[in-house]
Every structure is written in structure tokens, then in C-alpha cells.
Amino acid sequence: MNAAAGRRPVVAVLYREALPPRLSDVEGLADVRLTKADGLAEALDGADVLYQWHSFSPALKEHWAAATSLKWVHVSAAGVSQLLFEDLVRSDVVYTNSRGVLSRYMAETVLGYILAMAKNAPGFLRQQQQHRWQHRMTESILGRSALVVGTGSIGREIARLLTAVGMEVDGAGRSARAGDAEFRQIHASGSLADIVHAYDFVVLAAPLTESTRGMVDADVLAAMNPSARLINVGRGELVRTEDLTAALASGTLAGAALDVVHPEPLPEGHPLWDMENVIITPHMSGDVHGYLDDLGKLFVDNLTRYAQGEPLRNVVDKTLGFVRSP
């Protein structure tokens, strides 16, 4: 796909506060209209492309009637479930996301959680704060098993990193299959309750869709090994929070590391805040110094492809809500 022959594409850039990096590169390729949400309708009039730098804004849905010439939307996020709406899904507008940009960073965070829980870093920190010298034994992660739920870009990078440190890693995706490059085997994610008992760590990195919403419920948690830990870097709504809270409180589950929760942010006074076997971080598993520039580079690359009529990277299957893996 490309812009109309003989003219530069018109790109509406939706931002919230700070402008996106590499804007001068975008301006070298297209006529740019900068806008915040309240001005999006005017910016969309005659625009070919929407660069949604304000990742989770619902403004496109609110001003869809103005998008009469829109051909392509790019969003600076990997998860797009909350951004898709019926008119957009049914349209011919191509939708791309930022799949892959944060995968390595998120995998590093997952490894950090695993090491923190195996080595009891929170417990040692509490001892230090109490000025208490108390010897403790810790766990090795060598040979420990992990199930990564979600076999896209993020899940595969997690698998590669965990395998590199000596863990045994399987996956769970839409369908079961063998002979995968990153996973020993891939199970069907619809059968989690039948397979989770075999794993020391269950890592959620799946997109949020109607089939994955609430996939980790009381039945799945009860089926997990009591010594196992749950890690969620996907979406908070993959897990039924009340069921997880009950499992952790009762000892059904040994611990959890949660970068995403539901609701988000976690309300003040929620029991999860004070559980010693829980690590909570504020939805930042992929946020490292320089990642914004990485997001900007991806859009510039895709805009160059668009202007030259070349295939775009990270085209989302709008009916599924994510980019199909090769």
C-alpha cells in the first residue's frame, strides 16, 4: 500500500504531552499534522495515516466519522485490544502496532522476577530494612520449568532468555504443536487447567482477546503446583484478580509477580499490596531508557515502506486483535 501517486502522504500525529521522537524524519517523508485528542477530527480530514503516539487514547473511535480518507493507523504499543472497535475492524484501514520493540526488555523483566522470587530478594530487602542479619537458603533456577502463555514476539523472547539460563520452557498458544524453535512444545492455551501442574513458573504474555480474558481463574490456579509462581506481563484482565488474591492468601500458590493488574492501578488498600509473596510493578516491564526512540524508529521505517509501496511491518489481524506469528 502507498499514498496516492504524485503527492506526499498526510500523517496526523496524535500525542498527549510530549511529541514523538524522530519527528523530523517523519516530516521528511510526509506532511504532518500534530494534534491532541480534542483536535483529532480536524486533523483526520484528508489524512492518509494516523500515527497514534498517544497509545491508549480512544479518540479515533470518538472521531471515526472524520476518517474518510484514512488508509493506515500505526499505534506505539503492542497490545491493541482496547483500541479496536467495530467500524475500524470492518473497514479497509490497515492497522499496525509496535510488536517486537519491547520484547527483549520485557523478557529481561521476567527473568528479573524469577530470580527475585527464587533468591527471595524481597525477603532480604525486608531484613536489611530491619537491620537484621539472618542466613537463608535460596533456590536455583537451573532446570526449573516455565510455561509461557503467549507465543508471539514477547513470549518467544522470554523463552529464548529463560532457556539461555538453563530453564526448561514450554509455550501455550491458540493451538498445540511440536517442533518449535523457541519452545520444547506448545500446548493449547484453552487447556491451561490440565497442564499448569507441571510447571514451576507460569508466565502470562498473551494479548487480551475475548478468548484470553479471565483465562487464569480459580480452576487454573487450583491446578498449579503449590510451590509455583505466576508472572503477568501481558494484561491485567488475563487473570481474575479475586481468584488470584484468594489463592495467594490460602497458600494454593507460592507467589506472584504482577506488572499488570485489574483494575489498574491496583486500588489503595487492596490485599495484594501487602502480601509478602507478591511483587507489584506499575506496568513498566518494557520501559527502559531509550525505548521511546525505538518506537519512533519503527514508525519511520514503516512510513518509508508506505511511501514506497512496500509491505508494512506488524500488520494486525483486526479480527484476532494481534499480529499473526510467522
DSSP structure string for 163-232: HHTT-EEEEEESS-EE--SS-SEEEEGGGHHHHGGG-SEEEE-----TTTTT-B-HHHHHHS-TT-EEEE
> Domains, the chain, ranges and CATH?
10-101+289-307 (3.40.50.720), 103-280 (3.40.50.720)
Please pick, among 264, 270, 305, 313, the residue that the annotation labels catalytic. Answer: 264
Q: Tens of pLDDT along 117-160?
A: 999 999 999 999 999 999 999 999 999 999 999 999 999 999 99
**Mean local confidence (pLDDT), 258-262:** 98
Please pick, among 74, 144, 235, 240, the residue that the annotation labels catalytic. Answer: 235
**Mean local confidence (pLDDT), 279-307:** 97
Please pick, among 8, 270, 283, 305, the residue that the annotation labels catalytic. Answer: 283
Phi-psi sector, 106: left (phi>0), alpha (psi -120 to 50), beta: alpha
197-215 as b/e: b if 16+ CB within 10 A = eebbbbbbbbbbbeebebb
Decide if 270 is catalytic. Answer: no
Give the chain's largest Cα–Cα span.
73
Q: Hey, which residues does 317 pair with through a beta bridge?
A: 322
Q: Which residues contact 208 (CB under 8 A, 6 or more apart)?
A: 79, 81, 82, 234, 235, 237, 238, 321
Kindly write down the DSSP assignment for every residue of 294-313, as one continuous string: HHHHHHHHHHHHHHTTPPPS
Q: Which amino acid is at 64?
A: W
Cα-Cα-Cα-Cα dihedral of 315, 151, 260, 146, to 10°?
-170
Q: Band of the pLDDT at 37, cuts 50, 70, 90?
A: very high
Question: How big is the chain by its Cα radius of gyration, in Å?
Answer: 22
> Cell 488470584 sits at which residue?
244
Decide if 184 is catalytic. Answer: no
Q: Tens of pLDDT along 67-100?
A: 999 999 999 998 888 899 999 999 999 999 999 9
pLDDT at 127: 96
**Mean local confidence (pLDDT), 226-251:** 97
Q: Tens of pLDDT along 176-201?
A: 998 899 999 999 999 999 999 999 99
Strands 145-149 and 94-96: unpaired
Decide if 99 is catalytic. Answer: no
Q: Does 320 have pLDDT greater than 90?
A: no
**Mean local confidence (pLDDT), 267-290:** 97
Q: Does 260 have pLDDT greater than 80?
A: yes
